[in-house]
Structure 1
Amino acid sequence: MIETRGFKILRAFGLVFLSAVVVVPLFVVVITSLKPLEDVQGIFTWIPSEITLQPYLDIWKTVPLADYFLNSLIVVCIATAFSVVIAVLAAYALSRFPFKGARTFSLMVLSTQMFPGILFLLPLFLIFTQLQRTVGVQLNGSHLGLIITYMTFSLPFAIWMLAGFFASIPKDLEEAALIDGTTRMGALWRVVLPVARPGIVAVSVYCFITAWGEVLFASVMTNADTRTLAVGLRAYASQTDVFWNQLMAASVVVSLPVLIGFMIVQRHLVTGLSTGAVK
């Protein structure tokens, strides 16, 4: 198909428009975070009359942002680590040990992604409350409860994604290692996992991002001591005023870990997503 000049121009305008949809809001966030509060409360200006880094210093004093940051790191890192470990073992079993009903199980795992997350809010809250009454385990308002919740949402997709990735790895590699005397777990650790690194990275990034920006469950299942960043950002809005410059500055700070992590693992992420999706 030969592209006409008009088609190229139309495509260029489309790409510029889509880029503006993404870039303009980010520009507003960054430029607002560099303004004094009195400038933010007035009429919005694209070019600030004064640029200051004071909001980035004040965000740690207005609210306990460091505590929220630590809570998020604890919950998200542990949930991601456990999700990846369990997903690796489950996906490896699905791809290497066929059993009756394996396809049905895979479809059931994937079908859980069709339901909106809010549908599970009340059941999980009631289950955690009942466990606290019967077993004495504090889940509501604790890190453990939020970790289990995030694993509930990330595991199905992680298992499905890694199962497709493991299926693309030739079995001959493992068989050669088994003939050399290694165990099945040894073959998984020394042979399969190094080859499957892009897929594992992709799944890890997905689990991390899903949990890092989650607001609904974190709002219900945390208290003042276990509040995460996504919920803690609301503290910059009081009953009488909203510290917009600090809120935007905190949003930039919150986004940095995800941005930096994505830039580091971008190559593995693209490879893992494409390979897992094809298989």
Structure 2
Amino acid sequence: MLGRKTWKSRVGFWVAIMLLVSFCLLPFAQILSTSLKHQFDWGNPSLIPQVVNLDAYKELLGLAEQKEVEVPAAIKKILDNPKIPQNKKDAILAKYTDTSDVFPFGRYMLNSFLISAGAAAVSLVFAVMGAYSISRLQFSGQVIVQRSVLFVYMVGGVLLMVPLYQMAVNVGLATSMWGSVISLFAIYIVQTLPVALYMLGNYFRSIPFALEEAAMMDGYSRKQAIWKVVLPLSLPMLATVFMYCFIIGWNEYLFASVFLKQFKEFYTLPLALQELFVSKNAIWDRIMAASMLTLAPVVICFLFAMRHMDGGKTDGGVKG
């Protein structure tokens, strides 16, 4: 019978799904496995560590106990020599008490969070106003504006990097630390605003305008109707758009590598991880643990979005 599924087709379908999911998850499983292995276990092809090692995670999160630095006896004798100037003694002692080998993961994560979340919040505010105007109001050039927004999003970041950096240099922003941070913040807004406008515009069109009309008939102004009716009905999409914009900024590397290259204290996580690969901190378990911790906010945002992407809140709001 046409369209009837046999048990062979069902088994084949689920096998194909499992193979596809396994293929996609295998790199993440390898990262997690390596981050939990000791050095003697790195060559083990098994994904299950022989002994679970959490030292890399404790070190990155600042939970590891500070190890006391022991100065060799020969160095102590040199430091006891009264003929050596005090500044040279301090320089020698600093080599044994230096903590530069500690990767400041918390600071880099905070930098990424502040820039990404701040840019996503500002982009969401502008997107709400712009998307509502495009979806509800009638004005000349509306179609051109709507299509231009999506066209800007399709332009690659590589094409925009050089002109944007030249603009920042010409106005004097790229020459200072805070100016570079502000430039990067503005670029993240420009990057995320088009897709936020597109997503919210389509969602606002799905909300019946009769609900706003009913609110305005009850004495609300248009602004009050937006605040009291449209935005509460759009909370799932607003949260999703915010998280999507946040993820774009969280994973961005190209512009951060250009604007923040000379300001290490403001590195974002993608840029910091690239530096970690070529530094003396380049230990496999530490690299993989940092990668997993960088991935964690993205996974949390995705799970949160899937949980709150519920629809049908306007069903029955308007009688036929």
Q: TM-score, length-normalised on structure 1?
A: 0.88
**SS of 1:258's equivalent?**
helix
Matched pairs, number = 269
Please tell me whether the aligned partners of residues 38 and 53 of structure 2 are also in contact (alpha carbons under 8 angstroms). Answer: yes
Deviation at residue 240 of structure 1 after TM alignment? 6.4
Q: Is 1:51 equivalent to 2:52 in the alignment?
A: yes
Return the alpha-carbon distance in structure 1 between the equivalents of residues 111 and 252 of structure 2. Answer: 13
Long gaps (5+) in structure 2: 62-100, 313-320
Partner of 1:147: 185
Higher gyration radius (CA): 2
Distance 1:54 1:139, change over 3 A: closer
Return the alpha-carbon distance in structure 2 between the equivalents of residues 214 and 116 of structure 1. Answer: 13
Deviation at residue 165 of structure 1 after TM alignment? 0.9
* Counterpart among 216, 234, 245 of residue 196 in structure 1: 234
Please tell me whether the aligned partners of residues 132 and 139 of structure 1 are also in contact (alpha carbons under 8 angstroms). Answer: no
Partner of 1:11: 13
Q: Is 1:165 equivalent to 2:165 in the alignment?
A: no
Paired residue type of 1:48: P
- More deviation in 59-68 or 234-243? 234-243
Q: CA RMSD in A?
A: 2.3
Distance 1:129 1:150, change over 3 A: same
Q: Percentage identity across aligned positions?
A: 34
* Counterpart among 266, 270, 294 of residue 230 in structure 1: 270
Name the structure where helix makes up a greater proportion of residues: 1
Q: Which has the higher contact order (CA 8 A, sep 6+)?
A: 1
Please tell me whether the aligned partners of residues 102 and 281 of structure 2 are also in contact (alpha carbons under 8 angstroms). Answer: no
Partner of 2:117: 77
Counterparts of 1:1-279 in structure 2, within 5 Å, are 1-40=3-42, 42=43, 44-60=45-61, 62-132=102-172, 138=176, 142-222=180-260, 223-238=263-278, 242-269=282-309, 271=311
Deviation at residue 158 of structure 1 after TM alignment? 0.8
Return the alpha-carbon distance in structure 2 between the equivalents of residues 64 and 229 of structure 1. Answer: 10
Q: TM-score, length-normalised on structure 2?
A: 0.78
Distance 1:241 1:45, change over 3 A: farther
**SS of 2:265's equivalent?**
coil
Deviation at residue 43 of structure 1 after TM alignment? 5.0
Deviations 1:77-135 (A, max 9, x none): 110000000000001111111112211211111112222221111111111111117xx
Deviation at residue 53 of structure 1 after TM alignment? 0.6
Long gaps (5+) in structure 1: 273-279
- More deviation in 230-239 or 249-258? 230-239
Return the alpha-carbon distance in structure 2 between the equivalents of residues 118 and 270 of structure 1. Answer: 36
